[in-house]
């Protein structure tokens, strides 16, 4: 049963990392690419670390994996938000098919 759980964690982690990589390659603008990388890659790394923690069984490795998961979950969204906000303030263009820009009225206030 433990091997099935480890395999599930590793395969799902690899799947989410693949989804993040495809999103970075295929999505049209910086904002969507950051969304793909911050969400899917964070989940992928968390699942891979969870699989490694379950496989090792050593309390030292498990605690380090859990701390790394917490670190990724706390810092990846914040980093993506800061990069996106800076890109928006630097007038990085949105994709052509973007339907709305909710900050357009507030752009003058940001500068």
**What are the Cα distances from residue 110, in Å, to 34, 68, 88, 104?**
21, 34, 10, 10
Q: What is the pTM of this model?
A: 0.83
Q: pLDDT tens-digit profile of 11-55?
A: 999 999 999 999 999 999 999 899 888 999 999 999 999 999 999
**What's the pLDDT at 49?**
96
Domain that holds residue 68: 2-110
Four-point Cα dihedral 42, 69, 77, 13, nearest 10:
10
Number of domains, the chain: 1
Q: pLDDT tens-digit profile of 45-86?
A: 999 999 999 999 899 999 999 999 999 999 999 999 999 889
The gap from C-alpha 15 to its chain's centroid, in whole angstroms, comes to: 13
Where residue 92 sits, what CATH number does that domain have? 1.10.287
For 83, counting Cβ atoms within 10 Å of its Cβ (0-12 exposed, 13-18 middle, 19+ buried), the class is: middle
């Amino acid at each position: 049963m433990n091997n099935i759980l480890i395999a599930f964690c590793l395969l799902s982690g690899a799947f989410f990392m693949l989804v993040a990589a495809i999103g970075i390659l295929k999505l049209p603008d910086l904002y969507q690419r950051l969304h793909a990388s911050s969400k899917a890659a964070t989940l992928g790394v968390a699942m891979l670390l969870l699989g490694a923690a379950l496989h090792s069984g050593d309390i030292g490795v498990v605690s380090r994996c859990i701390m790394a998961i917490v670190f990724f979950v706390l810092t990846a969204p914040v980093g993506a938000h800061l990069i996106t906000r800076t890109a928006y303030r630097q007038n990085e263009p949105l994709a052509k098919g973007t339907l709305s820009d909710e900050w357009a009225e507030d752009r003058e206030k940001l500068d």
